[in-house]
Structure 1
């Protein structure tokens, strides 16, 4: 399975990259987050389930929020069923 993770905002600085290719076998967004935390431990303050639930972190799979699919259990599939090309992780920033 080939997945491209795109990072934005402070996440780029924390990870040291705008994009992280993932070739390891994973099944869900939760698996992906665990893998990213092993590969890039500096992301640990951002990539928590609480940040996703609270809206401080937005995770999109092919442009669709995981909140509208199955949350952290959103399945990542490749091959004939679904081709996952990228996952975008955005940090929300408040302003006034």
Structure 2
């Protein structure tokens, strides 16, 4: 597996984390730690450059969504590549995210 790159862009009360490469068990802590550093109301994870995500990456997204929801913060997962969106849909990630009113996935179009 290749690595994961995370770039951070802050805009007022929003942080955009652009993830590139592969999100898997070997590097989920890298993304989790970067998310935990952020204090903005909204955290957007831009997946446009993401090539691969395994089930541990999906689990991390659900865990982060739950924590942010408890803090009355918003998680937006955007620009999800079609092949990743399809896999996340099959395993039910979006149904769970929809239960958190503050989580908004987009992509797969």
TM-score in same-fold range (> 0.5) = no
- TM-score after normalising by structure 1: 0.28
Higher relative contact order (CA 8 A, sep 6+): 1
More strand by share: 2
- TM-score after normalising by structure 2: 0.25
